[in-house]
Structure 1
């Protein structure tokens, strides 16, 4: 599949993560510049960085998203919706909320669905009805396969646009097995985002092949740099083969 992927196509799947709690303004600036340089789809920044990122990326075509209830998902629904509304005011257009992990593991499906639905409503409703993009992070390293499948179905029931694997801050991360399970557990109306541990081109391709349509990663330059290098190598090989006849 690698030979079929263009740099632009892969860049269009990437949400460049800028979420480390210890990042300084200089660190944030560096990562925003990486996103703009490689032309990724979006950045996913800390809530307090949204307005700044929107100003700095103006004119680049890179969208700005943020996280809600991050990283544990255990804030109240009221707090999550308030956080989203502020991020919306600051200019964010995509919102990655963390599911209430304990409620999901406890089988409190109504609570989980209502929590998701409230966040989706705060973002304007389902994307198909004109709302902004909402993603639900399941934190798969804490879940068994049944819980991952059920969490995916509850994500769809709540009206979210994407179901997402991980925050990247709980150990573990995306696996092809989990991405395939999530893809199989929802209808085509819901997309899958692989996040956590996507650090190179091979892992990125594995997630896309498993059914992800968006990648959350802080390794955008590594992934796209590897793809550019391989493409250059393929071109050189073809040129050498042609010249040998």
Structure 2
């Protein structure tokens, strides 16, 4: 039971001040606890892949992170490079400004481009909405596009915005993608109670840096 619970976590180290020593500890903890992946910025993918080599724990690379405002071409190239350097999963941030403008054709093109790269490489792909900047109509439109394009996951937040994952957002996202796409909750999940509430609301993956503490609390 404990092992299955731990598999829900993308154990994250995304702070800009992270050192190689910090990364090594996070990777060691992910292997020790049997977490699903280690989520890092793309500049750390090669080193993370080396630390995790042979463990069965994949590297999860954050693309266009955390603002999402680079071009489709740059996000696509960043995705390809991350995969080349050893990433097994990709979490990319949508172009939030284009969502606010209502340019959903752009958003669909962006999503299709990155999902296709990941599909062709056999990698898991997650789309970060950054819900704190969006109204419900915008979130629903993103869900509708995701249901059409079919990334593996849609994700609530980067954890770098003014607010993070909420239960209401997870419920909303799950309602509109159903079983076609999974939901990942991330940002501000610091204890077991919050984690379990996200799972109850429909999240099938949790991104957080407090994974060890939550797993320990669950075990007890």
| Residue number in structure 1 paired with 2:150 | 159
The answer to whether 1:96 aligns with 2:91 is yes
Q: Is the 8 A contact 2:94 2:129 kept in 1?
A: yes
Deviation at 1:52, TM superposition (A): 1.1
Q: Moved runs in structure 1, 4+ residues, more than 4 A?
A: none
Q: State TM-score, norm by structure 1.
A: 0.87
| Residue number in structure 2 paired with 1:176 | 167
| Residue number in structure 1 paired with 2:43 | 48
| Residue number in structure 1 paired with 2:199 | 208
Q: Equivalents in 2 of 1:15, 1:206: separation in Å?
A: 17
| Residue number in structure 2 paired with 1:237 | none
The answer to whether 1:123 aligns with 2:96 is no
| Residue number in structure 2 paired with 1:75 | 70
Unaligned regions of 5+ residues in structure 2, if any?
none
Q: Equivalents in 1 of 2:50, 2:105: separation in Å?
A: 39
Deviation at 1:157, TM superposition (A): 2.5
Point out the structure with max Rg over C-alpha.
Answer: 1
Q: Equivalents in 2 of 1:81, 1:159: separation in Å?
A: 17
| Residue number in structure 2 paired with 1:187 | 178
Secondary structure of the structure 2 residue equivalent to 1:21: coil
Q: State TM-score, norm by structure 2.
A: 0.96
From 126, 141, 144, the equivalent of 1:135 is 126
Secondary structure of the structure 1 residue equivalent to 2:110: helix
Q: Is the 8 A contact 1:39 1:61 kept in 2?
A: no
Q: Equivalents in 1 of 2:173, 2:110: separation in Å?
A: 19
Q: Equivalents in 2 of 1:168, 1:18: separation in Å?
A: 11
Q: Equivalents in 2 of 1:124, 1:209: separation in Å?
A: 29
Deviation at 1:199, TM superposition (A): 0.9
Q: Provide, for residues 149-194 of structure 1, a one-character-per-residue CA deviation record: whole Å limited to 9, x for no partner.
A: 1112222323311110000001211111100000001131200000
Q: Is the 8 A contact 1:183 1:211 kept in 2?
A: yes
Q: Provide, for residues 110-131 of structure 1, a one-character-per-residue CA deviation record: whole Å limited to 9, x for no partner.
A: 0000001001111135xxxx84
The size of the alignment, in residue pairs, is 220
The more displaced of 151-160 and 57-66 is: 151-160
Q: Is the 8 A contact 2:132 2:163 kept in 1?
A: yes
The more displaced of 22-31 and 79-88 is: 22-31
From 53, 59, 62, the equivalent of 1:64 is 59
From 3, 23, 36, the equivalent of 1:8 is 3
| Residue number in structure 2 paired with 1:243 | none
